[in-house]
Chain A
Amino acid sequence: MRQIKRWMGTVGLAALTVVSAWAAAGKMMSVQVKDAQMRDKPSFIGKVVGSLAYGDRVEVQESQGAWARVSLPGGTAGWLHTSALTSQKIALSAGKDDAKVGASGDELALAGKGFNSDIEAQFKKTHKAIDFTWVDKMEKIKIPSLEIQTFLKDGGVVPKGGAQ
Chain B
Amino acid sequence: MKPLVRQIINLLPAVLALVILPACQTMDAISEVGAAVGQGAGVLTPQQAQSVKKAGSAVGKTFDSITPEQEYYIGRTVGAVVINQYKPLANEEANHYLNVLGQTLAQFSDKPETFGGYHFLIMETEEINAFSAPGGLVFISRGMLKCCKSEDAVAAVLAHEIGHVEKQHGLQAIKKSRITSALTILAVESGKSLGGEDLAQLTEAFEGSIGDITSTMMNSGYARGFERQADQAAVTTLQRAGYDPRALVSMLTEMKKYLKPGGRDFAKTHPAPDDRIADVEKMIGAAAAVPAPVARQARFAQAVGKI
Q: Which residues of A contact B (CB under 8 A)?
A: 32-34, 36, 44, 54, 66, 80-81, 83-84, 86, 90, 94-95, 98, 101-103, 108-120, 122-123, 126, 129-132, 134-135, 138-139, 141-143, 147-148, 151-152, 154-164
Contact = CB atoms under 8 A, between A and B. Distances in A.
Given A114-B67, A119-B202, A147-B100, A98 B115 contact: no
Given A98-B191, A123-B206, A156 B69 contact: no
B240 interface: yes
Contacts of B277: none
A164 B117 contact: no
Interface stretch (B7-15, B36-44, B220-228, B291-299): B291-299
B84 interface: yes
Contact of B79 (A34, A95, A138): A138
Contacts of B243: 157
Contacts of A115: 66, 70, 73-74, 182, 202, 206, 209
Given A102-B57, A120-B76, A159-B240, A134 B108 contact: no
Interface string B45-78: 0000000001001100100011111101110110
A144 to B, nearest CB: 10
A80 B120 CA distance: 23
B113 to A, nearest CB: 4
Given A33-B114, A101-B187, A117-B73, A159 B182 contact: no
Nearest to A55: B69
B202 A98 contact: no
A95 B190 contact: yes
B137 interface: yes
Given A36-B113, A110-B66, A132 B76 contact: yes
B78 to A, nearest CB: 9
Interface residues of B, number: 73
B120 to A, nearest CB: 7
Interface string B91-114: 000011001110110011111111
B80 A130 contact: yes
A132 B80 contact: yes
Residue of A44, A119, A142, A147 ringed by the most chain B CB atoms within 10 A: A119
A83 B113 contact: yes
A120 B61 contact: no
B84 A131 contact: yes
Contacts of A154: 295, 299
The 3 A-B pairs at the shortest CB distance, nearest first, are namely A162-B240, A156-B293, A162-B108
Nearest to A109: B65
A34 B108 contact: no
Contacts of A143: 99-100, 103-104
B17 interface: no
Nearest to B71: A115
B182 A129 contact: no
18 contacts: A34-B117, A83-B114, A86-B68, A95-B191, A103-B57, A110-B182, A114-B183, A123-B207, A123-B210, A141-B96, A152-B104, A157-B241, A157-B242, A157-B296, A158-B242, A159-B240, A159-B242, A163-B109
Contacts of B187: 101-102
B199 interface: yes
Contact of A110 (B65, B112, B119, B210): B65
B284 interface: no
A141 B119 contact: yes
Nearest to A80: B113
A88 to B, nearest CB: 9
A118 B112 contact: no
A54 B265 CA distance: 37
B16 to A, nearest CB: 16
B28 interface: yes
